[in-house]
Amino acid sequence: MGFQPGQSGNPKGRPKGSRNKPKEPAPIDPVIDILRKTLERCQDERAQATREVAILRNRVGTLENALREIFLMDEADVARVAEIVNRVLRFPA
């Protein structure tokens, strides 16, 4: 069911106040800027998280080594370590 020559597909015509179709697409630069900034922020946050994980792994490794050494010490060594810790932290004996 096509239109007859000279007839419109909109018999009432274009409504008053309606806008013309844009001749060119909306600018995409603002969207690209937002996406670029979001990507940079995500990369910065990932780098920060990677640094924090490395620090935690280092600390856990250090703690693990310290615990291994403590469990290999005899009671006299433990008493000496406790004395040094108390002296450094100034706890009463």
Report how many domains make up the chain.
Answer: 1
Q: Give the tens place of pLDDT for each residue, 12-66.
A: 777 788 887 777 877 888 899 999 999 999 999 999 998 988 888 888 777 777 7
In a domain, residue 44? The reply is yes
pLDDT at 41: 95
Question: Which residue in 61, 86, 57, 81 sits closest to 71, CA to CA?
Answer: 81
In a domain, residue 80? The reply is yes
In a domain, residue 79? The reply is yes
pTM of the full structure = 0.42
pLDDT category of residue 93 using cuts at 50, 70 and 90: very low
In a domain, residue 14? The reply is no
In a domain, residue 6? The reply is no
Query: If DSSP states are collapsed to H, E and C, what string results for 10-45?
Result: CCCCCCCCCCCCCCCCCCCHHHHHHHHHHHHHHHHH
In a domain, residue 77? The reply is yes
Q: Is 17 left (phi over 0), alpha (psi -120 to 50) or beta?
A: left
What range defines the domain where residue 39 resides? 29-89
In a domain, residue 3? The reply is no
- Alpha-carbon span 67 to 64, nearest angstrom: 5
In a domain, residue 1? The reply is no
